Amino acid sequence: MARHTVPIGTKTERAGARRGNTGSICAWELRNVVRLPALWGFLALCLLLNSWMIVGTGISAGWRDDLAYAARTAANAGTTVDERFVAALAAQPASDERDALLRYVQSGFGPGYEGYDAIAAGDWYAAVLDAQGHPHLALQMRLKAQWLQSRAEHLAATGASDDFAAGSLTTLLHSVAATVVQATMVEGMILGPIIMLYAVGGDRFHRLDPLVNASRTGRRTMNRKLAVGVCCSTAAYLVIAAAVPLVFALVFRIPGLWSSSVSSRMLGVSTDVGLQPFLTWADFSMGGYLCASLGLGLLFTLAFTLFAGALGMLLRNVLAAFGVVMAFGVAGLVAMMFIHDALAYQLLGIQPMYALANASQWFTDMGTHAMLPWQETVVTLISVGYFAVALIVARRAYSGKDLT
pLDDT, tens digit, for every residue of 171-182? Answer: 889 999 999 999
Q: Give the contacts of 303 (CB within 8 A, at least 6 positions apart).
A: 352, 380, 383, 384, 387
How far apart (Å, rounded) are the C-alpha atoms in residues 316 and 300? 24
Is 47 a residue whose pLDDT tops 60? yes
**What's the whole-number mean pLDDT along residues 132-139?**
94
Q: What's the predicted TM-score (pTM) here? A: 0.88
How much is the pLDDT for 274?
Answer: 76
Is 140 a residue whose pLDDT tops 60? yes
Is 14 a residue whose pLDDT tops 50? no
How far apart (Å, rounded) are the C-alpha atoms in residues 251 and 389? 42
Q: In the chain, where are the structural domains located?
A: 32-400
DSSP 5: -
Is 127 a residue whose pLDDT tops 90? yes
351/118: higher pLDDT: 351
Q: Look at phi and psi of residue 44 and say left if phi exceeds 0, alpha if psi is from -120 to 50, else beta.
A: alpha
How much is the pLDDT for 153?
Answer: 87
Q: Give the contacts of 193 (CB within 8 A, at least 6 positions apart).
A: 233, 304, 305, 307, 308, 321, 322, 325, 326
How much is the pLDDT for 103?
Answer: 86
Is 1 a residue whose pLDDT tops 50? no
How far apart (Å, rounded) are the C-alpha atoms in residues 276 and 284? 17
Name which of 263, 271, 341 is nearest 121 in CA terms: 271
| Number of neighbouring beta carbons within 10 Å of residue 187 | 23
- Residue-wise pLDDT for 213-230, tens only, equals 545 555 567 888 899 999
| Number of neighbouring beta carbons within 10 Å of residue 43 | 16
- Residue-wise pLDDT for 261-305, tens only, equals 999 888 888 788 777 888 999 999 999 999 999 999 999 999 999
